[in-house]
Structure 1
Amino acid sequence: MATPSARDRILDTAARLFYRDGYRATGIDRIIAESGVAKMSLYRHFASKNDLIFEYLQRRHDVWMTWFETGVRRRLAARPNLDVMADTLGEWFEGEDFRGCAFINMVAESGGGAGDDARLLEQAVSHKASLQAFVGDIARELGLDQPEAVAEEAIICIEGMIVRAQTTHDTAVVRAGRHTLARLHAAFTGV
């Protein structure tokens, strides 16, 4: 197996620390120490901490969306209902390292404005738009009426589930989400 590049080691370390400990609590010196790279190496790849956060969020978006879409589609093959999204999220919630949504966390830590770097808030908005678009696509594929309206309502449930799971660690969150999404599915099924 090839040794990861310095850039990859920096990103891997930053990803672990940002997600586990938060953006503000994770300093550049800690990332340098834990990734085993020189300070100059970090700054050769990332001009600032915000550039590193930006790259981390891009990677997080790609990895998480691929995981979520794959999990939802796999479950839809067995049960064509919006409620499979709750079960997919439940799999994530059960993970030992679950700390909520990296994008929600970033916005919360920055006071809603992503600090002095508008790119970070734009990434959060873009991630949530991608998630909502995916839900709309699934609603269309399931033949539900008004797929955009379904997506608008479903995203509220999905986001609420993520925040509730992060704050309560209660497994009932998945059951409640499944019921809510199933009712939404039924409400938009053409009769």
Structure 2
Amino acid sequence: MDADNEAARERVLEAAGELFYTHGIRAVGMDRIRDAAGVSLKRLYRCYASKDELVEAYLRDRDRRVRGALAEYVAGEATGRPRERVLAVFDWLHWWFGEPGFRGCPFTNAFNEVGAESARAAAAVHDHQRAVGAYLRDLIAATGTPDPDAVTNRFLVLYAGSLTCAAISHSRAPALYARETAAALLPADPRAA
């Protein structure tokens, strides 16, 4: 793909991502994305052959961004102790919930809107959940937790539940409640005593 087409593709994806997250997938038509991206409808469809393809690209892009921001935050904010690195996940959520324009989890939102009718969107959402779970499992296993798989399943519920509660309540507090619960599930850090 030449540089001009790649630039158009990026503009379309950026515009679609902002519109989908802010207004919802069903509420945003391809004409609106075309206008926001500053491309012709013909070029938009050359970049993404269908709205379904564009929704999948949006979700995969958000996955990359969300997981990258989470990993960067955890690496930069945690003390290096395995337990604190796990809990930093909820500190990051607390930060994210306070960001202007926060409207909940883009993956849950998308799945609730189109997951039943779009295999591509559903697959992207499931891939994101598996990737977040694998990341959490690695962090949790490093703490010496006896059954990291079971604890990871509980953490995924805390993670997703805090996202939903924060979106509904317009509050950052769900991240703090999830962090408190998460701390109770982890073994104590022997160096903290």
> TM-score, normalization: structure 2?
0.89
How far did residue 79 of structure 1 move? 5.3
How far did residue 25 of structure 1 move? 0.3
Q: Check whether the contact 2:77–2:88 (CA below 8 A) recurs between aligned residues.
A: yes
How far did residue 101 of structure 1 move? 1.1
What percentage of aligned pairs have identical amino acids? 33
**Gaps spanning 5+ residues in structure 1: where?**
none
1:55 maps to which residue? 57
How far did residue 78 of structure 1 move? 5.2
How far did residue 77 of structure 1 move? 2.6
2:104 maps to which residue? 100
**Structure 2 CA distance, aligned partners of 1:151 and 1:95?**
26
**Structure 2 CA distance, aligned partners of 1:84 and 1:35?**
36
Aligned counterparts, 1:1-191, within 5 A? 5-77=7-79, 80-81=82-83, 82-110=86-114, 112-113=115-116, 115=117, 117-186=118-187
**Structure 1 CA distance, aligned partners of 2:137 and 2:21?**
28
Deviations 1:57-102 (A, max 9, x none): 1111111111111212323335542322111111111110111111
Q: Check whether the contact 2:82–2:143 (CA below 8 A) recurs between aligned residues.
A: yes
Name the SS for the 2:79 alignment partner.
helix
> TM-score, normalization: structure 1?
0.90
**Gaps spanning 5+ residues in structure 2: where?**
none
**Structure 2 CA distance, aligned partners of 1:61 and 1:95?**
18
RMSD: 2.1
